[in-house]
Structure 1
Amino acid sequence: MTSSSLPANPFVAAGMIEDPRLFVGRKDELHAIASRMTGVQPTSINIVGDKRIGKSSLLYYFYLTWQQRVQNPNRYLVIYRSLRNANCQTEAGFYQEVANGWGNLGNNRRFLNNPWKPKSWNRQTFSEAIKAMEQQQVLPVLCLDDFESLFDYPQEFNDGFYDNLRSLMEDNALMLVVASRKSLRVYGEEHRFVSSFFNIAHCIVLRELTTDEAIELTRLPTRSSQGAVLNQDEQNYAQQWGQRHPYKLQLAGTYLWEARQTGKPIKWARQQFEQQINLPASGKQQSYWQKWLLFIFVDLPKRLGSFTKFTGETVGDLGSWIIGMTLIVMVVLGFVGVLNWNQVWDFVRDQLGIK
């Protein structure tokens, strides 16, 4: 495409950057992904970062440009998938979604046999398809965005599912590039998975842009390619407001451009920018308190109740919560003097199997 087809406003104030011409920076991260993909033993990667730090944009940009980063593109088959997709709420649906992506690419490649042709997908057929690609000396690379979405369906995506992926990765038959807000190791601990999948080898923590990258972002070109969409003063404002945060810089650029197009003052652009920045901030505050309440009244009792497993008893989540909540109430009653501490300690010892 020519520069004349660039959008009038190149700033992306929300969501993923889909036009590769508007992507800025992250050269070290892109090099790290490509180098681990082309190594003798491909290493799967976990891209970790806060919301709106650019994980999705980085993952999608790599998917669009990976062929420019490897010496022999025919050795790889790379697709991008967001796991927020409703089709990925079941294990079979996950395999089908992946197969659709690789199948479309495979139809355009000269394979002796395309293993991604339509079939009934399950854990075994998926593994067989991966192994078939390995026999043809092709490495399937799966870029998975919003990976934490799978944890909403623990009955579908259990330790067996993750163990199977890990086995394929250890055989160098499959590479994953996974984007998530927290590291997979943390998620594994939080959701009590025992699969070694959650010890994925390499973690890339995505942070704010460098100063040079932030400046480059504020200088995105116009359609005419005769200069940046923002003038020098507007670029300075965008850098002051957004600092080095990619989302804030995009947001500042959007409102500064819109203010000039509609004849509004800089003050208006600043007000719009601050309103949008404060919206997620208040949401985070609410989420912060919600997390504390959930921890105190849900997670903490469950964790305390789970210690009953040391007594040899088997209880479900509800049973763990009831036991844990009872422990908390007993301790509180001991502090306020309603119960004698000997009674509290006897109850705790009984539940934890302490003699």
Structure 2
Amino acid sequence: MKFETKAIHGGQQHEPSTGAVSMPIYQTSTFAQTAPGVHKGYEYSRSGNPTRTALEKAFASLENGAHGFAFASGIAAVDCVLKLLKPGDEVLTTNDIYGGSFRIFTQVFERYNIKFQFIKHDDVHKMDQYFTDNTKLIWIETPSNPLLNLVDIKKITSLAKPKNILVAVDNTFATPYLQRPLDLGADIVMHSATKYLGGHSDVILGGLIVKDKNLTDELYFIQKSCGAIAGPMDSFLVLRGIKTLHLRMECHCSNAKELAHFLKAHSKVDNVYWPGFKTHPNHVIAKSQMKDFGGMVSFTLKNNQLSSTLKILEGLSLFTVGESLGGVESLCSHPVSMSHASVPKKDRDSVGIVDSLIRVSVGIENIEDLIADLDQALDLI
């Protein structure tokens, strides 16, 4: 089954009792049992809900996995993965990840004696030199947030598997339409489905997808025991969003390409981060493991002044200044004060998250209108 068909039909069936084409919202906390332990597959909505099950099957289908899990948020999904570990275990990751992931790593799980090592991106494909007997997990974000660096998933998994180290990939920016990490050897895929999978900025939800039966059992135990599950209404909204994922991603990618080239040619813009440029240091990796280059673009200003950056953001009309990304509308954010505010300044500076960095989630509006809006905002400085 091709991806476009999976987006609409993958893992899905018409509701059996009525034939409803759209999965109903099973807004219930519990389910009737004819006798203790005798039921129709559902007992209590924390352990399972039909609407959530439909979404989890869709997740698995899109990522070519065996089982999916839906959580209350992307960070709740990250939390579940980290609970596979025990005190003394070590996690390797890169030094340019999402600020929320950095925060939960360093300010929550380090308290429980789990060690995190943040590797410079230049060294990521030599990650085996950082392996110890305690290394149990590699956490990859590709493309990364907000600098759009890429990691060769096949390379990392080839290093990790002989050592029985799990590889988890945050696939939020790429989506399964552009990249499927399980096919490249990863053990776990994570999504902030709040973003492109939902696609309409109206839901908070996270997802995990795996192939391995033992991992499935462990993650389900944690999901059920700790309870950070997605509710039925939120599950319904993401299910609905997934059905147009392929159409939206084609437009996101096309618009991002044109906007990136506009920014690259602008006299006031310094660096433009977009994997589609042949000059991007990871362009070859992007071509090898992604279908297209995504809907995200980041850029800095030549004067690198915070005051100029704020003037641009305040002068935008069509672009909304806000947290998040991946919705149908175009968003601009300021990582230093928003998504990466929890990352210490020295760590931000070391990877290039500077005061003038603006991250753009390019929506599906008319690209000429978007370019005109950004152009007039740049003219303000």
| TM-score normalised over the length of structure 1 | 0.29
Larger Rg: 1
| TM-score normalised over the length of structure 2 | 0.27
Counting strand residues as a fraction of each chain, which structure ranks higher? 2
